[in-house]
C-alpha cells in the first residue's frame, strides 16, 4: 500500500492564474507509478482551462463547486458528485461558473500530460 498525504506533493499554479492550482498525487516522480496519473485541481471563481486534449483518457470527479465543461459539440453544468469522462484525444474545456472554488479529482489513463504542469506551471511555496 502507498499513502500520499494531501500536503505532500508540490502544489502548482497556472502562469498568470494564481487561483488555478493543481497537485499531482500519483505519478512516476511521486510514487514510481508509470501507468496512471491522479491529481486534484482547484479553480477560483472565473478560472478556466481552454479547449485542449490528452493522449489518454481523462476522468474527473467533482468534489466542490459548480463548473461548466464542454467538448466541441456539447456543454454541461456539473456539481459535487458528478463524474466526467473524456476519450483519448477528445477536445474539452472547463470553467468555474460559481462563486466558490471548483475542486475536482482527475485521472489520466496515459502519463505524460502532468509533465507540462511540472515544467511550465509555477510551484507554490511549501
What span, in angstroms and rounded, lies between the C-alpha atoms of 101 and 115? 24
Domain 17-123 classification at class level = mainly beta
Rounding to the nearest 10 degrees, give the CA dihedral for residues 104, 64, 124, 51.
Answer: 50
Mean model confidence pLDDT for the chain: 94
Across the range 41-54, mean pLDDT stands at: 96
Cα 71 to Cα 51, 76, 125: the distances in Å are 8, 9, 34
> Taking the CA atoms of the chain, what radius of gyration do you get in angstroms?
14
- All three cell numbers of 123, joined, read 510551484
Cα 10 to Cα 20, 61, 63, 89: the distances in Å are 14, 21, 20, 27
pLDDT in tens, 67-101: 999 999 999 999 999 999 999 999 999 999 999 99
Residues near 88 by beta carbon (within 8 Å), at least 6 away in sequence = 54, 55, 56, 57, 109, 110
Task: Note the pTM of the prediction, 2 decimals.
Answer: 0.93
Amino acid at each position: 500500500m502507498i499513502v500520499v498525504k494531501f500536503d505532500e506533493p508540490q502544489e502548482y499554479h497556472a502562469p498568470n492564474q494564481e487561483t488555478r492550482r493543481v497537485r499531482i498525487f500519483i505519478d512516476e516522480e511521486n510514487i514510481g507509478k508509470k501507468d496512471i496519473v491522479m491529481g486534484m485541481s482547484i479553480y477560483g471563481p472565473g478560472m478556466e482551462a481552454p479547449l485542449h486534449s490528452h493522449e489518454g483518457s481523462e476522468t474527473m470527479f467533482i468534489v466542490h463547486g459548480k463548473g461548466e465543461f464542454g467538448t466541441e459539440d456539447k456543454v454541461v453544468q456539473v456539481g459535487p458528485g458528478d463524474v466526467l469522462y473524456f476519450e483519448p484525444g477528445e477536445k474539452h474545456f472547463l470553467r468555474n461558473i460559481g462563486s466558490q472554488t471548483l475542486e475536482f479529482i482527475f485521472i489520466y489513463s496515459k502519463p505524460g500530460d502532468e509533465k507540462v504542469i511540472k515544467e511550465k506551471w509555477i510551484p507554490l511555496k511549501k
